């Protein structure tokens, strides 16, 4: 086929494809399923014609036009989303909630282990107050004996911006460690969960011995509930990786591990903004004696409720989301 005959016979196809693209770009809501199928068929024809033209008629006007049409079709028909804003919205409303639901069983395991370890720490610190020195050091024990919590330093020794940054960095470090611990077959994840639970219980027991448990609970009431929840969610991601590593079922281990790692990453990314918010709360609200304890408790419950509403978002049950297709 010569160039003239090629252009004459194929131009109607190119024209229809270009017109269909223009319609899709200008009025996307008016394009129905059948039109999209026709457009996809013509897209394949354009790619085929471009390959032929590039081989037989390089540098010609038809070849250049086909290259432009192919690029437009690729950008319009094959992109996953229509922009960063929609991708972010899909993550918030579908991807993270679906990943969260898939991890509810291992989240339950992590929560039970944390609670059991906290009870053990509380019991041991109650019967053996000497544990205080091991956890807090002698200087802070002296402060407890004098009726002062170490948390008072947040409002006296560091600028709020520095304090908030340090708190966020520490909490994110714990979350990332529990998340990445899945690569150790979950051993590091379990260690962090058990250690943090034991420390919380031990601190409550020690401060109770010095009649300061109420002050500690007042301090953590605004941020502590959600902070623990976020760390446990991150640990669920790590345990999910460990589960895929140790028991992939009837699927190839590489496939199961890749899916689990992706889900765990969604969990971690979904928790990051909340850690930043909690750092501000822990800096400006939790240590402030001018804010009523009831207000701190209400704030803590509101933050926890907001996170659970975000994580359990029922509108996130979009088609394919629960099968891990929301990426």
CA distance 117 to 110: 11
**Residue 185 in domain:** yes
103 close to 184: Cβ distance less than 8 angstroms: no
45 close to 13: Cβ distance less than 8 angstroms: yes
CA distance 212 to 319: 51
CA distance 152 to 51: 71
> What local confidence, expressed as pLDDT, does residue 26 receive?
83
> What local confidence, expressed as pLDDT, does residue 138 receive?
78
Rounded to 10°, the helix 253-284/293-311 angle is 160
Q: Looking at the structure, tell me whether residues 68 and 108 fall in a common domain.
A: no
Domain final position from 48, 79, 110: 79
**Residue 115 in domain:** yes
Q: Looking at the structure, tell me whether residues 176 and 131 fall in a common domain.
A: yes
CA distance 4 to 1: 8
The torsion region of residue 137 among left (phi > 0), alpha (psi -120 to 50) and beta comes to: left
Domain final position from 79, 107, 122: 79
**Residue 13 in domain:** yes
Q: Looking at the structure, tell me whether residues 13 and 97 fall in a common domain.
A: no
213 close to 207: Cβ distance less than 8 angstroms: yes
**Nearest Cα residue to 274 out of 167, 178, 197:** 167
For residue 296 the two structure tokens come to 């701190």
**Residue 327 in domain:** no
Q: Looking at the structure, tell me whether residues 177 and 135 fall in a common domain.
A: yes
Q: Looking at the structure, tell me whether residues 258 and 147 fall in a common domain.
A: yes
Q: Looking at the structure, tell me whether residues 43 and 22 fall in a common domain.
A: yes
**Residue 323 in domain:** no
241 close to 182: Cβ distance less than 8 angstroms: yes
Domain final position from 52, 79, 106: 79
**Residue 180 in domain:** yes
Distant-in-sequence, close-in-space partners of 42: CB < 8 Å, separation ≥ 6: 13, 16, 17, 20
Q: Looking at the structure, tell me whether residues 231 and 171 fall in a common domain.
A: yes
> What local confidence, expressed as pLDDT, does residue 104 receive?
93
Q: Looking at the structure, tell me whether residues 180 and 272 fall in a common domain.
A: yes
**Residue 325 in domain:** no
**Nearest Cα residue to 131 out of 224, 195, 207:** 207
Given CA atoms 200, 204, 210, 215 in this order, what sign does their dihedral have?
A: positive
> What local confidence, expressed as pLDDT, does residue 163 receive?
53
- How many helical (H) and strand (E) elements, i.e. helices and strands, does the chain have? 14, 0
DSSP code, position 58: T
322 HSE (CA, 13 A, CB side): 11
For residue 301 the two structure tokens come to 């419950």
Torsions phi, psi for 124 (to 5 deg): -65, -40
293 close to 221: Cβ distance less than 8 angstroms: yes
Q: Looking at the structure, tell me whether residues 123 and 207 fall in a common domain.
A: yes
Cα–Cα distances in Å, from 187 out to 108, 166, 178, 192, 196? Answer: 17, 27, 9, 9, 14
Note down the domain range covering 7: 3-79
Q: Looking at the structure, tell me whether residues 67 and 101 fall in a common domain.
A: no
Number of domains in the chain: 2
CA distance 179 to 261: 9
**Residue 326 in domain:** no
CA distance 70 to 72: 5
Q: Looking at the structure, tell me whether residues 69 and 94 fall in a common domain.
A: no
Cα–Cα distances in Å, from 60 out to 7, 50, 53, 54, 74? Answer: 11, 11, 8, 9, 21
Given CA atoms 199, 312, 326, 278 in this order, what sign does their dihedral have?
A: negative
38 close to 21: Cβ distance less than 8 angstroms: no
Mean pLDDT by 10 residues, the chain (327 residues): 85 90 82 81 86 85 87 72 60 88 94 96 86 74 76 55 61 85 90 93 86 86 93 94 83 82 89 89 85 93 94 62 42
CA 92 to chain centre: 9
Q: Looking at the structure, tell me whether residues 19 and 120 fall in a common domain.
A: no
């Amino acid at each position: 086929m010569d160039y003239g005959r090629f252009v004459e016979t194929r131009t109607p196809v190119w024209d229809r494809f270009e017109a269909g693209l223009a319609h899709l770009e200008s009025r996307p809501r008016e394009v129905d399923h059948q039109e999209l199928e026709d457009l996809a068929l013509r897209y394949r024809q354009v790619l085929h014609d471009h390959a032929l033209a590039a081989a037989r008629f390089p540098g010609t006007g038809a070849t250049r036009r086909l290259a432009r049409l192919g690029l437009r079709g690729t950008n319009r028909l094959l992109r996953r989303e229509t922009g960063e804003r929609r991708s972010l919205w899909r993550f918030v409303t579908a991807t993270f909630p679906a990943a969260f639901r898939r991890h509810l069983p291992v989240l339950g395991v992590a929560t039970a282990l944390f609670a059991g370890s906290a009870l053990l720490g509380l019991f041991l610190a109650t019967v053996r107050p000497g544990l205080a020195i091991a956890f807090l050091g002698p200087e802070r024990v002296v402060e407890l004996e004098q009726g002062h919590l170490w948390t008072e330093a947040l409002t006296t020794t560091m600028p709020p911006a520095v304090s908030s940054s340090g708190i966020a960095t520490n909490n994110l470090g714990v979350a990332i460690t529990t998340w990445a611990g899945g690569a150790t077959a979950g051993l590091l994840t379990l260690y962090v969960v058990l250690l943090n639970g034991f420390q919380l219980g031990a601190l409550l027991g020690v401060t109770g011995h010095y009649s300061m448990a109420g002050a500690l609970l007042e301090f953590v009431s605004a941020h502590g509930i959600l902070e623990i929840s976020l760390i446990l969610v991150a640990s669920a991601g790590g345990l999910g990786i460990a589960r895929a590593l140790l028991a992939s079922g009837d699927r190839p281990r590489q496939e199961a591990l890749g899916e689990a790692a992706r889900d765990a990453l969604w969990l971690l990314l979904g928790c990051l903004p909340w850690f930043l918010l909690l750092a501000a709360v822990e800096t400006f609200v939790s240590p402030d004696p001018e804010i009523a304890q009831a207000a701190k408790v209400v704030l803590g419950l509101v933050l926890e409720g907001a996170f659970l509403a975000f994580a359990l978002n029922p509108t996130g049950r979009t088609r394919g989301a629960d099968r891990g297709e929301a990426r």
